[in-house]
Structure 1
Amino acid sequence: MEKIKVLFICHGNICRSTMSQCVFQDMVNKRGLSDHFHIDSAATSREEIGNPPHYGTVRKLKEVGIPVLSHRARQMTKADYGEYDYLIGMDSANIRNMNRILGGDPEAKVQKLLDFTERKGDIADPWYTGNFDLTYRDVSEGCKGLLHFLEEREEELKNW
């Protein structure tokens, strides 16, 4: 069975995208669906390449009991488009930069995480806001919406 491949993307790959990766992986694991997914995260910039998740992300995930995955920031590449089924950005600037890196989105794989919720929009970058609680709320809501969308769309999950 082919795995569903999801790549979460933000500016630096140390705050929002790593939080999304950990939250979504935890949701998938708790539903017994981990064999059906490959989940990762990346950055649109080169600024944080090689760095671990931000301490604010780590603190928030630990506070809510979500395991922090071992991860080092990396920049997304054009090749990721062929590798992943869903490329999920956190805000409009991420989407613009993702499309620039990818050279377009002919298969409509690029979406914003909050587009999977009733409350469309951008997830604020806690690097600037310092508000990891708000970021976690938005990420958690977006990940729930994404998983619901995938369960509705992906036939193998319906039969699981």
Structure 2
Amino acid sequence: MTKVNVLFVCLGNICRSPMAEAVMRHQVKEAGLDGVIEVDSAGTGDWHIGHPPHEGTRKQLDAHRISYEGMKARLVNDNDFGQFDYIVCMDNNNIRDVRALLERSEVKREERKELFTFMELLPERGFADVPDPYYSGNFDYVYELVEAGCRQLLTKIKTDLSL
């Protein structure tokens, strides 16, 4: 069976993208696809490299009994563009930054996979960006969006793979 790799990207890789990584891993495991779908996250900024997810993200994940064990912030890098089949950016600034990195990347255009914003998974919500709870503190709302969007992404991947 084909293996699929998913990368979530936000600014510092401590709030939104690690929350999405953990939630997606959990949903993948529940679906019995943990040997098929691999999930990771990264950031476009280097302020938090090596740090665990933000306390607010950890509290949400703990409340929903979702593991974030071993997760540490890291930067998006050139290797990611060849490795990941789906690169899902949490807002328009993130996707702009990732596209700029891709333009400078050694990865050939035909090797590049799907790149889109997270909220494209939830068009009915009517807005483009997952709000950054680092500034707002609204981790509950971000969790709600992440949980719903990850379900949509899992459905998309299963459809794409004809599972």
Q: TM-score, normalised by structure 2?
A: 0.90
2: CA distance, partners of 1:75 / 1:23: 20
Are 1:116 and 2:108 matched, yes or no? no
Structure 1 residues 1-160: aligned runs within 5 Å:
1-103=1-103, 106=109, 107=112, 109-117=114-122, 118-119=124-125, 121-155=128-162, 158=163
Quote the sequence identity (%): 37
- 3-state DSSP of counterpart to 1:22: helix
Q: 5+ unaligned residues in a row in structure 1: which ranges?
A: none
- 3-state DSSP of counterpart to 2:78: coil
CA deviation string 1:90-142 (max 9, x = no partner):
00011011111121794452111121123352100000010000110111111
Q: TM-score, normalised by structure 1?
A: 0.92
2: CA distance, partners of 1:70 / 1:114: 27
Between the two proteins, the alignment pairs up a number of residues equal to: 156
2: CA distance, partners of 1:136 / 1:54: 13
CA RMSD of aligned residues (A): 1.5
- 3-state DSSP of counterpart to 2:5: strand
CA deviation string 1:8-67 (max 9, x = no partner):
100000100000000000000011110101110000111111111101000011112212
Show structure 1 runs of 4+ deviating over 3 A: 104-108
Q: Check conservation: 2:85, 2:113, Cα contact below 8 A.
A: no
2: CA distance, partners of 1:61 / 1:133: 10
1: CA distance, partners of 2:114 / 2:79: 13
- 3-state DSSP of counterpart to 2:35: helix
- 3-state DSSP of counterpart to 1:34: coil
1: CA distance, partners of 2:77 / 2:102: 7
Q: Which has the larger displacement, 98-107 or 143-152?
A: 98-107
